[in-house]
Chain A
């Protein structure tokens, strides 16, 4: 019996002679990531373990992004702790103004190559599957163990194969592919599994769009969403990394726990209604829902592709008087490029506010919390009750076209109507 991509990567990063779903193995990490929320908790756990020695500082990355820029003293103390620890241990630290949102940043900076194992103290570490890596979001005690020993325990997951086919229509993006999957299998439907994306439709998903797909794999309960490396992956990595890598593909006789399909020919823009990402409906089903805040950004959809889509929608128009629009470029590099391309000017002219890269408005931390009774349409990954501020607010998830169109219309609208 052959192996899936996930099984092959776990086999190559463990001492096991063979692997099968359910088997627990110790897996070696190529990158260990944490942020200002999960890092300091991990450092406490490390102290309890009785050591401060890091297994390999060259494989450790710390990013200040959740409460950065610090919203209050308590947040500033956490960020300082992250920075001081990083300097003391000689690991890479991305401070505000020097990095951005951790997952987009790590991919951009060439930390992630196909076939590697990326672990992070953040559930959206699953994003790195877009590069053909096995990536896993872990808690802080796990991260502490990884910092000391460079490995973590892992029950080998099964693999759900997602075949993408058809011609992608206008205003349809990677976000719609993953919302379709979550709608199909449910918020717990991928538990104990990775998603593996294959088929002719994968070619029409850029790296930016794949990042959005993989980013929401955890919203289906999955460990990660893997795109086996292809020409686009290679072209993206060219000049971006010095790490050696080889593409990893599943064997033809690999065993899958389930096979599902997404057909672009039958896929329009989708929205996930409150308060669970599995509440997926076509945009057309909920047009007219008033929207008080739009957020374009976050680790799922803060890429150049997303900013271009948002700018395309709002160019020469004004954000509706009912609505606030917040745009969060995911990294400093993306911010600069958006300025260079004139996107920032288009967005600001339309009435959008541009934020420094931060996770703040996504998790309700700061920079865009919602009041009771307000509705948001956001390109983020979670619409849980209270996720972005008041528990009496409602968050709808959609792609950047859908979000920007809602900002112009002041309500949920089919993007084609705003574009025409």
Chain B
């Protein structure tokens, strides 16, 4: 699975789910309606950069805290194609995989990326390219790769239901 887009940098370590999508807006269950609140507690101006295909570049332990899927749902609704990070919190990571939003661990690419950098990610090959420079990412386990290739847990479930 290849994902590509323009880099949007989300600086800082331990960026938590509450600043990414504050709790007061959790009484929304339609992803389109979640879009205006993404990054609301961190830096609302980041939303202005979410124009077209984008790749978020994030620091260590990104997405720590809540299980709220509102964060990756809103990211997908904005056209985010991939998240490249130094490391990810567990539930955020699995939410991304389930929604077929690749979350790729590659600290070297994070260091190299600048705002607007062209980034492409080949999850299967474990490569991240930033403005033409190639970096090696942490390998994505085969199960997660298959989940991404299939389009996430919903198509996975549809396939399983069709078999039974």
**A interface, CB within 8 angstroms of B:** 22, 24, 36-38, 40-41, 44-45, 48-51, 66-67, 72, 74-75, 78, 81, 121-123, 125, 137-142, 144-145, 148-149, 153, 155, 187-188, 191-192, 218, 221, 223, 276, 278, 363-365, 369, 382, 384-387, 391
Contacts and interface: CB of A to CB of B under 8 A. Distances in A.
Nearest to B157: A49
A129 to B, nearest CB: 14
A123 B29 contact: no
User: Which of A37, A41, A384 is the most central at the interface, judged by chain B CB atoms within 10 Å of its CB?
Assistant: A384
A66 B98 CA distance: 24
B26 A384 contact: no
B153 interface: yes
B98 A141 contact: yes
Interface in B49-85: 60-61, 64-70, 72-73
Interface string B134-164: 0000000101100100001110111011000
B26 A123 contact: no
Contacts of A391: 19, 41
Contact of A40 (B16, B29, B91): B29
Contacts of A386: 18-19, 22, 41
B104 to A, nearest CB: 16
A122 B19 contact: no
User: Which of B64, B89, B144, B158 is the most central at the interface, judged by chain A CB atoms within 10 Å of its CB?
Assistant: B64
A37 B89 contact: no
A144 B95 CA distance: 12
Contact of A384 (B18, B72, B95, B157): B18
Given A123-B67, A191-B90, A139 B95 contact: yes
Given A49-B154, A188-B61, A188-B64, A142 B98 contact: yes
Given A78-B29, A139-B95, A188 B14 contact: yes
Contacts of A72: 27
A66 B26 contact: yes
B23 A140 contact: no
B27 A139 contact: no
B98 to A, nearest CB: 4
Nearest to B30: A44
B87 interface: yes
Contacts of A78: 27, 29
B160 A149 contact: yes
A348 to B, nearest CB: 28
B126 to A, nearest CB: 16
Contact of A123 (B19, B66, B72, B98): B66
Contacts of A48: 154
Contact of B154 (A45, A153, A223, A387): A45
A122 B23 contact: no
B66 to A, nearest CB: 5
A37 B14 contact: no
B73 to A, nearest CB: 8
Contacts of B73: 41
B143 A153 contact: yes
Contacts of A37: 26-27, 68
Contacts of B161: 49-51, 148
B154 A187 contact: no
A235 B119 CA distance: 57
B29 A41 contact: yes
B23 A365 contact: yes
Given A138-B91, A141-B154, A149-B157, A191 B18 contact: no
A382 B18 contact: yes
Contacts of B27: 36-37, 67, 72, 74-75, 78, 365
B94 interface: yes
Contact of A387 (B18, B69, B95, B158): B18
A37 B41 CA distance: 19
Interface in B6-28: 14, 16-19, 22-24, 26-28
B12 to A, nearest CB: 11
Given A66-B26, A365-B23, A385-B41, A221 B158 contact: no
Contact of A38 (B67, B87, B143, B154): B67
Given A41-B29, A45-B154, A142-B153, A188 B18 contact: no
